[in-house]
Amino acid sequence: MEKEGLSVSMFLDQVKVNVKAGNGGNGMVAFRREKYVPDGGPAGGDGGIGGDVIFVVDEGLRTLMDFRYNRHFRAEHGENGMSKGMHGRGAKALFVKVPPGTVVKDAETGQMLADLVDHGQEAVVAKGGRGGRGNIRFASPRNPAPEIAENGEPGDEKEIELELKVLADVGLVGFPSVGKSTLLSVVSQARPKIGAYHFTTLVPNLGMVQTDDGRSFVLADMPGLIEGASQGVGLGIEFLRHIERTRVLLHVIDMSGVEGRDPVDDYFTINKELEQYDLKLRERPQLVVANKMDMPDSEENLKTFREEMEKSGEEVEIFEISALTRKGLNQVMSRTADLLETAPEFPLYEEETGEEERVLYKFTPENREFMITRDPDGTWVISGDKVVKLYQMTNFQFDESVMRFSRQLRGMGIDEALRDKGAKNGDTVRLDNFEFEFVE
Residue 371 marked as a ligand binder:
no
Residue 203 marked as a ligand binder:
yes
Residue 97 marked as a ligand binder:
no
- Domains belonging to the chain, first-starting first, are 14-164 (2.70.210.12), 170-342 (3.40.50.300), 371-438 (3.30.300.350)
Q: How does the average pLDDT of the chain come out, rounded?
A: 79
Residue 323 marked as a ligand binder:
yes
Residue 48 marked as a ligand binder:
no
Residue 324 marked as a ligand binder:
yes
Judge whether residue 6 has pLDDT over 70: no
Residue 222 marked as a ligand binder:
yes
Pairing between β-strand 170-173 and β-strand 248-254 as defined by DSSP bridges = parallel
Judge whether residue 333 has pLDDT over 70: yes
d(CA 218, CA 206): 7
Query: Stretch 354-383: mean pLDDT, rounded?
Result: 63
Residue 73 marked as a ligand binder:
no
Residue 376 marked as a ligand binder:
no
| Strands lying side by side in the sheet with 286-291 | 205-210, 216-221, 170-173, 248-254, 286-291, 317-320
Residue 1 marked as a ligand binder:
no
Residue 100 marked as a ligand binder:
no
Residue 177 marked as a ligand binder:
yes
Judge whether residue 24 has pLDDT over 90: yes
Read off the amino acid at residue 8. Answer: V
The pLDDT assigned to 198 comes to: 38
Residue 201 marked as a ligand binder:
yes
The pLDDT assigned to 239 comes to: 56
Residue 405 marked as a ligand binder:
no
Judge whether residue 153 has pLDDT over 70: yes
The radius of gyration computed from the CA coordinates of the chain, to the nearest angstrom, equals 31
- For 195-223, how does the pLDDT look when each residue is reduced to its tens digit (9 = 90+)? 443 333 445 677 778 788 878 777 877 76
Maximum mean pLDDT: which of 12-16, 199-203, 241-245, 412-416: 412-416
Residue 224 marked as a ligand binder:
yes
Residue 228 marked as a ligand binder:
no
Whether 88 and 78 have beta carbons less than 8 Å apart is answered as yes
When pLDDT is cut at 50, 70 and 90, the band that residue 20 belongs to is very high
Query: Stretch 340-361: mean pLDDT, rounded?
Result: 51
Residue 178 marked as a ligand binder:
yes
The pLDDT assigned to 240 comes to: 62
Residue 45 CB-density burial (10 A; 0-12 exposed, 13-18 middle, 19+ buried): buried
- Find the range with the poorest average confidence among 35-39, 113-117, 134-138, 193-197: 193-197
Residue 176 marked as a ligand binder:
yes
Residue scoring higher pLDDT (187 or 7): 187
Whether 5 and 191 have beta carbons less than 8 Å apart is answered as yes
